Protein backbone atom coordinates (compact mmCIF):
# COMPACT_ATOMS: atom_id res chain seq x y z
CA UNK A 1 0.00 0.00 0.00
CA UNK A 2 1.15 3.52 -0.72
CA UNK A 3 0.25 6.98 0.43
CA UNK A 4 -2.50 8.94 -1.30
CA UNK A 5 -3.27 12.64 -1.39
CA UNK A 6 -6.70 14.15 -0.94
CA UNK A 7 -7.92 17.69 -0.69
CA UNK A 8 -10.48 20.37 -1.34
CA UNK A 9 -10.61 23.89 -2.67
CA UNK A 10 -12.37 26.24 -0.28
CA UNK A 11 -13.79 29.75 -0.52
CA UNK A 12 -14.27 32.20 2.34
CA UNK A 13 -17.86 33.30 2.48
CA UNK A 14 -19.09 36.77 3.43
CA UNK A 15 -19.49 35.81 7.07
CA UNK A 16 -15.85 34.79 7.21
CA UNK A 17 -16.44 31.04 7.31
CA UNK A 18 -14.68 28.76 4.85
CA UNK A 19 -16.75 26.38 2.74
CA UNK A 20 -15.81 23.65 0.30
CA UNK A 21 -16.22 24.81 -3.29
CA UNK A 22 -14.99 21.59 -4.92
CA UNK A 23 -12.86 18.53 -4.39
CA UNK A 24 -9.30 18.46 -5.61
CA UNK A 25 -9.41 17.74 -9.38
CA UNK A 26 -8.51 14.18 -10.36
CA UNK A 27 -5.18 14.97 -12.11
CA UNK A 28 -3.77 16.30 -8.81
CA UNK A 29 -4.69 13.07 -7.00
CA UNK A 30 -1.98 10.97 -8.67
CA UNK A 31 0.75 9.44 -6.54
CA UNK A 32 3.48 11.91 -7.44
CA UNK A 33 5.77 12.06 -4.42
CA UNK A 34 8.17 14.48 -6.11
CA UNK A 35 5.36 16.98 -6.72
CA UNK A 36 4.13 16.48 -3.16
CA UNK A 37 7.57 17.24 -1.82
CA UNK A 38 8.03 20.37 -3.92
CA UNK A 39 4.59 21.73 -3.11
CA UNK A 40 3.83 20.57 0.43
CA UNK A 41 7.04 19.14 1.90
CA UNK A 42 5.67 15.60 2.03
CA UNK A 43 8.27 13.01 1.09
CA UNK A 44 11.98 13.68 1.18
CA UNK A 45 13.56 11.94 -1.81
CA UNK A 46 14.50 15.23 -3.47
CA UNK A 47 15.75 16.79 -0.23
CA UNK A 48 14.26 20.18 -1.02
CA UNK A 49 15.32 22.92 1.37
CA UNK A 50 11.79 24.22 1.82
CA UNK A 51 8.67 23.32 -0.09
CA UNK A 52 6.45 26.04 -1.50
CA UNK A 53 3.70 25.44 1.08
CA UNK A 54 5.70 23.44 3.56
CA UNK A 55 3.77 21.23 6.02
CA UNK A 56 1.67 24.06 7.39
CA UNK A 57 -0.78 21.81 9.18
CA UNK A 58 -4.54 22.05 8.94
CA UNK A 59 -5.96 25.59 9.00
CA UNK A 60 -7.71 26.20 12.33
CA UNK A 61 -10.77 27.57 10.51
CA UNK A 62 -11.01 24.76 7.94
CA UNK A 63 -14.46 24.04 6.56
CA UNK A 64 -16.66 21.30 7.92
CA UNK A 65 -16.19 17.78 6.60
CA UNK A 66 -12.43 18.19 6.15
CA UNK A 67 -10.53 15.66 8.32
CA UNK A 68 -8.50 17.97 10.53
CA UNK A 69 -7.01 15.64 13.12
CA UNK A 70 -3.77 13.81 12.44
CA UNK A 71 -4.09 10.04 12.49
CA UNK A 72 -3.17 7.13 10.25
CA UNK A 73 -5.91 7.87 7.73
CA UNK A 74 -5.15 11.57 7.31
CA UNK A 75 -1.98 13.45 8.18
CA UNK A 76 0.56 15.85 6.69
CA UNK A 77 -1.97 18.65 6.15
CA UNK A 78 -1.00 21.80 4.30
CA UNK A 79 -2.75 24.62 2.47
CA UNK A 80 -2.22 27.67 0.28
CA UNK A 81 -4.36 30.58 -0.85
CA UNK A 82 -4.66 31.50 -4.50
CA UNK A 83 -2.77 34.72 -3.69
CA UNK A 84 0.19 32.59 -2.57
CA UNK A 85 -0.01 30.21 -5.52
CA UNK A 86 -0.25 33.09 -8.00
CA UNK A 87 2.90 34.64 -6.50
CA UNK A 88 5.06 31.48 -6.76
CA UNK A 89 8.34 31.70 -8.64
CA UNK A 90 8.28 28.21 -10.19
CA UNK A 91 11.93 28.55 -11.20
CA UNK A 92 13.32 29.47 -7.77
CA UNK A 93 15.84 26.96 -6.34
CA UNK A 94 14.41 24.45 -3.88
CA UNK A 95 17.80 23.02 -2.92
CA UNK A 96 21.13 24.44 -1.80
CA UNK A 97 23.12 24.08 -4.99
CA UNK A 98 23.05 21.31 -7.56
CA UNK A 99 21.32 18.03 -6.74
CA UNK A 100 23.71 15.31 -5.56
CA UNK A 101 22.38 12.35 -7.52
CA UNK A 102 20.40 13.92 -10.36
CA UNK A 103 21.27 15.66 -13.61
CA UNK A 104 19.45 17.79 -16.12
CA UNK A 105 19.09 16.06 -19.49
CA UNK A 106 19.34 18.58 -22.32
CA UNK A 107 18.34 17.88 -25.92
CA UNK A 108 18.11 20.04 -29.07
CA UNK A 109 14.86 21.98 -29.30
CA UNK A 110 12.97 22.97 -32.47
CA UNK A 111 15.53 25.69 -33.29
CA UNK A 112 18.48 23.41 -32.56
CA UNK A 113 19.40 25.10 -29.28
CA UNK A 114 19.66 22.85 -26.21
CA UNK A 115 16.64 22.85 -23.91
CA UNK A 116 16.07 21.01 -20.63
CA UNK A 117 14.17 17.82 -21.51
CA UNK A 118 13.85 16.35 -18.01
CA UNK A 119 15.65 15.69 -14.74
CA UNK A 120 16.91 12.17 -14.12
CA UNK A 121 18.87 10.03 -11.72
CA UNK A 122 22.43 10.19 -12.95
CA UNK A 123 23.02 7.11 -15.14
CA UNK A 124 26.08 5.07 -14.19
CA UNK A 125 27.30 5.45 -17.77
CA UNK A 126 27.28 9.23 -17.37
CA UNK A 127 29.21 8.97 -14.10
CA UNK A 128 31.76 6.71 -15.81
CA UNK A 129 32.15 9.18 -18.69
CA UNK A 130 32.47 12.04 -16.20
CA UNK A 131 35.32 10.22 -14.50
CA UNK A 132 37.11 9.88 -17.85
CA UNK A 133 36.52 13.55 -18.73
CA UNK A 134 37.33 15.11 -15.35
CA UNK A 135 40.00 12.65 -14.25
CA UNK A 136 38.36 11.60 -11.00
CA UNK A 137 35.20 10.01 -9.64
CA UNK A 138 32.86 12.96 -9.03
CA UNK A 139 29.13 13.35 -8.46
CA UNK A 140 27.40 16.05 -10.56
CA UNK A 141 27.67 18.92 -8.04
CA UNK A 142 31.41 18.23 -7.86
CA UNK A 143 31.97 18.56 -11.61
CA UNK A 144 34.06 21.58 -12.67
CA UNK A 145 32.14 24.76 -13.46
CA UNK A 146 30.52 24.36 -16.86
CA UNK A 147 31.18 20.60 -16.82
CA UNK A 148 28.87 18.43 -18.87
CA UNK A 149 28.75 14.92 -20.33
CA UNK A 150 27.52 14.00 -23.82
CA UNK A 151 25.88 10.58 -24.06
CA UNK A 152 23.38 9.06 -26.49
CA UNK A 153 22.48 12.35 -28.16
CA UNK A 154 21.84 14.22 -24.90
CA UNK A 155 23.88 16.56 -22.74
CA UNK A 156 23.96 15.89 -19.01
CA UNK A 157 24.62 18.78 -16.66
CA UNK A 158 24.39 19.39 -12.91
CA UNK A 159 21.01 20.86 -12.04
CA UNK A 160 19.52 22.84 -9.19
CA UNK A 161 16.00 21.60 -8.55
CA UNK A 162 12.96 23.85 -8.96
CA UNK A 163 9.23 23.34 -8.56
CA UNK A 164 8.71 23.69 -12.31
CA UNK A 165 10.75 20.54 -12.88
CA UNK A 166 8.50 18.30 -10.77
CA UNK A 167 5.23 20.21 -10.29
CA UNK A 168 4.91 22.57 -13.27
CA UNK A 169 1.97 24.97 -13.03
CA UNK A 170 0.58 23.63 -16.31
CA UNK A 171 1.05 19.97 -15.32
CA UNK A 172 -1.12 17.69 -13.18
CA UNK A 173 -1.86 20.53 -10.77
CA UNK A 174 -2.87 22.88 -13.57
CA UNK A 175 -6.58 22.03 -13.21
CA UNK A 176 -6.47 22.86 -9.49
CA UNK A 177 -4.73 26.17 -10.12
CA UNK A 178 -7.19 27.02 -12.92
CA UNK A 179 -10.15 26.30 -10.65
CA UNK A 180 -8.68 28.47 -7.90
CA UNK A 181 -7.95 31.28 -10.35
CA UNK A 182 -11.54 31.21 -11.59
CA UNK A 183 -12.99 31.22 -8.07
CA UNK A 184 -10.70 34.11 -7.12
CA UNK A 185 -12.29 36.32 -9.77
CA UNK A 186 -15.46 36.23 -7.66
CA UNK A 187 -14.18 35.77 -4.11
CA UNK A 188 -10.76 37.48 -4.17
CA UNK A 189 -7.26 36.02 -4.23
CA UNK A 190 -6.99 35.68 -0.45
CA UNK A 191 -10.40 34.06 -0.10
CA UNK A 192 -9.70 30.93 -2.12
CA UNK A 193 -7.42 28.19 -0.83
CA UNK A 194 -6.48 24.58 -1.38
CA UNK A 195 -6.25 22.28 1.63
CA UNK A 196 -4.55 18.91 1.24
CA UNK A 197 -3.77 15.94 3.44
CA UNK A 198 -2.22 12.50 3.02
CA UNK A 199 -3.22 9.07 4.10
pLDDT in tens, 171-189: 999 999 999 999 999 999 9
Strands ordered across the beta sheet of 192-198: 18-23, 5-12, 192-198, 75-81
Q: What is the pTM of this model?
A: 0.89
96 CB contacts (<8 Å, ≥6 apart)?
A: 49
Cβ contact 58:76 at 8 Å: no
pLDDT of residue 55: 87
Higher pLDDT, 65 or 119: 119
pLDDT of residue 2: 80
Higher pLDDT, 55 or 156: 156
* Beta-bridge partners for 6: 197
Distance CA(13)–CA(8), nearest Å, equals 15
pLDDT band at 1 (very low <50, low <70, confident <90, very high): low
pLDDT of residue 89: 98
Digit-coded pLDDT (tens) for 59-94 = 999 998 888 776 667 889 999 999 999 999 999 999
Amino acid sequence: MGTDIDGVIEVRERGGRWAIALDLPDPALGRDRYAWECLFGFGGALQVRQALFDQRGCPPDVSDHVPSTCEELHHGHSYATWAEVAAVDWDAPLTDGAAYDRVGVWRPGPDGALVLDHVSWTPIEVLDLAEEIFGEDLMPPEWPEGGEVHWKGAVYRPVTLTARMFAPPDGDWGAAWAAMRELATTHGDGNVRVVVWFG
